[in-house]
């Protein structure tokens, strides 16, 4: 399994601007972004997204995601 420290925590993701969140969801649907399930007991379909990849997507969307 991937090192989960490289993946955003849910609170990090929810702090992103809505346009970045939508861009991340789109990239995930298009298999352009690495993601892991939040946990085995979480709501189905909740993911943690790879932090570096999210930052790249944020730059492409014109918004820089915080560290």
> Mind giving me the DSSP string for 11-41?
HHHHTS-HHHHHHHHHHHHTT-S-EEES-TT
The residue with greater pLDDT, 4 or 34, is 34
Structural domain for 39, as ranges: 4-60
Residue 13, domain member (yes or no)? yes
What angle do helix axes 18-29 and 51-60 make, rounded to 10 degrees?
110
Split into its structural domains, the chain has a count of 1
Stronger pLDDT, 49 or 61, i.e. the higher one? 49
- How many Cα neighbours within 13 Å face the side chain of 20? 21
Q: Would you say 10 and 24 are in contact if contact means Cβ atoms under 8 Å apart? A: no
- 1-5, 6-10, 12-16, 59-63: which range is least confident on average? 1-5
Bigger pLDDT: 51 vs 44? 51
């Amino acid at each position: 399994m991937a090192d989960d420290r490289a993946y955003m925590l849910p609170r990090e993701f929810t702090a992103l601007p809505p346009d970045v969140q939508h861009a991340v969801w789109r990239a995930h649907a298009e298999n352009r972004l690495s993601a892991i399930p939040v946990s085995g007991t979480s709501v189905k379909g909740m993911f943690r997204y790879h932090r570096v990849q999210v930052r790249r997507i944020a730059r492409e969307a014109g918004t820089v995601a915080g560290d």
